Chain A
Amino acid sequence: QQQVRQSPQSLTVWEGETAILNCSYENSAFDYFPWYQQFPGEGPALLISILSVSDKKEDGRFTIFFNKREKKLSLHIADSQPGDSATYFCAASTGSFNKLTFGAGTRLAVCP
């Protein structure tokens, strides 16, 4: 049972475009949603996160949009750069923010 779903599985954009990565969840008790970025050969690293009381969170070129009613969120990467090429994981937790349920990931490729 996949509690956190991500789409698409893979995404290719051109340098300078906005990449949009989607995430949905089933458990309405989830209240914390981090996104992790993983480069090949490395472990995932926290990129940006949002609490369910907010509908938007920005950090530089990265923005999370959150729709609690539809149980959906998305990560927008503006002005995509080749260095953004990585796998992005959406995660969720309830109560204990450290106990995360991860999605299967979206592999992003940014072409120069």
Chain B
Amino acid sequence: DAGVTQTPRHEVAEKGQTIILKCEPVSGHNDLFWYRQTKIQGLELLSYFRSKSLMEDGGAFKDRFKAEMLNSSFSTLKIQPTEPKDSAVYLCASSLGANTGQLYFGEGSKLTVL
């Protein structure tokens, strides 16, 4: 079974650029999450979709971060414009839904903003 696939694994951007990160969830999963991971804050929720509908668009991240789910098997996270403080690992996770309580994470996309 294919797990959660994230691309690219690594991205280097100049300040002010637009970057798009991609995620393919586990086939058949209804819930999709985007998290940002840093050493200091740990995992912070950016967006949460259920059956392609946006359930949560995380507060402090709204202005420059936009997640979309174009179909049930593909999601993107756009950061525009990027800032050095956006340097982090961005994790996508999916779940069957129905409150299973188990998220399946991808390996993450490591973003470095210069």
Contact = CB atoms under 8 A, between A and B. Distances in A.
Contacts, number: 57
A107 to B, nearest CB: 9
A99 B30 CA distance: 13
Nearest to A6: B42
B108 interface: yes
Given A97-B101, A98-B31, A105 B42 contact: yes
A32 B97 CA distance: 15
Nearest to A4: B42
A74 interface: no
Interface in A93-112: 93, 96-105
Contact of A99 (B4, B42, B48): B48
Interface string B87-104: 000010101010111111
Contacts of B44: 102
Interface string B46-78: 001000000110000000000000000000000
